[in-house]
Chains A and B, each alone.
Chain A
């Protein structure tokens, strides 16, 4: 039973009231990604009384997450984000029904997971996932709340809301891996996901309760350095509203196409035998510090350096945080589908936290 005074600051709010509170309690929201964007969404929706929250993530908490993923503490490093988040949300509001999905959202599971929910929050950090979410939401006719970041900037919009436009109406083609900044250069100021994530939470509440005007057909572009917000209007491109099935391939869909090995297992294996380790970071990063015995082939050079790799033996791909090595794994897999290769999850960062 919900204690009546728990939400009194909302229910006493003119224009919100018990009726809107009941709508929150009845709603089911799926949050894809428990990083910088997903955490403020989860915390606020949980606090405000959304009845069912779905959480999707398979990542572990790492030291370099703490600068922006403020729900996590130093004690949480190495733990599953899903586990830590669900524990903290339970303590924050025991009434919420939490549905945890210990996976990444991929073309193989998206429809199954998305169909259970009323509103989807895209709090992911890669284009493949964003396009999968878009297409799944169009197929199942669900609105999704988009948020994305770059350096000191953020974007927010609500796609596929009623007859409104979709992500593809704005950005029809998915960017290729080559044009995506890699994790070493793609920095984010810690506060930015907090700002953009809370805006996503607000849009979610508006969709559920019907208060205000939903940010549909408008892309909000936020510039943190100048405190400028700009809203760009865009309209439906009819063909994007008609998607009947997911694509068979979302390019570098990291999550399902690149086999990985945990940093812990990798270290254990490495003690037992000599492994072929390819470090795909930049030459500068490699020269600064690298794993003894590893060979440096930057991700940009990979395609043209196949002769440096012995595909008769297993290949272990390594980078700083595990992102570039995943991408490298996807690239190599597309060129050498028969070869056996692994991306080391969490990369050198994770190895450092496993074996300090």
Chain B
């Protein structure tokens, strides 16, 4: 599962995208909903968990926490940015 990163999430993770290895490689379950993805990310990168608002787009649509995700989906983390 590949997650595209924007704004400050790119700075926090330190790269423009993030790969979550599939269960067959790690033996751990991969996130199946947006909510599970959020908690997975917060554990791996506590700084992400501190963001007040972080939009998650699945296949270019704003996703709700209950939405299902799978490894074929294109996922993007989009935080608000403030520069002008």
Using a CB–CB cutoff of 8 Å, the interface residues on chain A facing chain B are: 33, 35-38, 123-127, 130, 147-151, 153-155, 170-176, 178-181, 186, 188, 193, 219, 221, 223, 230-235
Contacts and interface: CB of A to CB of B under 8 A. Distances in A.
17 contacts: A36-B83, A37-B84, A125-B84, A126-B84, A127-B80, A150-B6, A150-B7, A153-B81, A171-B80, A175-B52, A175-B53, A175-B80, A179-B51, A193-B84, A232-B78, A233-B60, A235-B62
Contact of B84 (A36, A151, A171, A232): A36
B26 interface: no
B62 A149 contact: no
A232 B83 contact: no
B18 interface: no
A38 B84 contact: yes
A140 B53 CA distance: 25
Given A181-B11, A221-B6, A231-B60, A147 B53 contact: no
A130 B60 CA distance: 24
Contacts of B84: 33, 35-38, 123-126, 147-149, 193
Contact of A233 (B7, B8, B52, B62): B62
Contacts of A179: 8, 50-52
Given A230-B60, A232-B60, A150 B8 contact: yes
A178 B84 CA distance: 19
Nearest to A226: B16
A240 B61 CA distance: 19
Contacts of A151: 10-11
Contacts of B82: 125-127, 130, 148, 150, 175, 180
A171 B10 CA distance: 18
Contacts of A171: 53, 55, 79-80
Q: Most A CB atoms within 10 A — which of B10, B53, B79? A: B53
B20 to A, nearest CB: 20
B76 interface: yes
Instruction: State the majority secondary structure of interface residues on A.
Output: mixed
Contacts of B83: 36, 125, 148-150, 186, 188, 193
A219 B77 CA distance: 13
B50 A149 contact: no
Contacts of B30: none
Top 10 nearest A-B pairs (CB, nearest first) are A125-B84, A234-B62, A150-B81, A149-B83, A171-B53, A173-B52, A171-B80, A232-B57, A150-B7, A148-B81
A231 B55 CA distance: 13
B13 to A, nearest CB: 14
A38 B81 CA distance: 16
B7 A232 contact: no
B60 to A, nearest CB: 5
B64 to A, nearest CB: 10
B52 A219 contact: no
A33 B82 CA distance: 12
Contact of A219 (B11, B53, B78): B78
Contacts of B7: 150, 153
Given A125-B84, A150-B81, A170-B80, 8 more contacts: A37-B84, A38-B84, A172-B53, A173-B53, A174-B52, A186-B83, A223-B6, A232-B61
Nearest to A150: B81
B66 to A, nearest CB: 15
B83 to A, nearest CB: 4
A186 B76 CA distance: 21
A179 B81 CA distance: 11
A208 to B, nearest CB: 22
Contact of A234 (B6, B52, B55): B55
Contacts of A231: 60
A181 B78 CA distance: 16
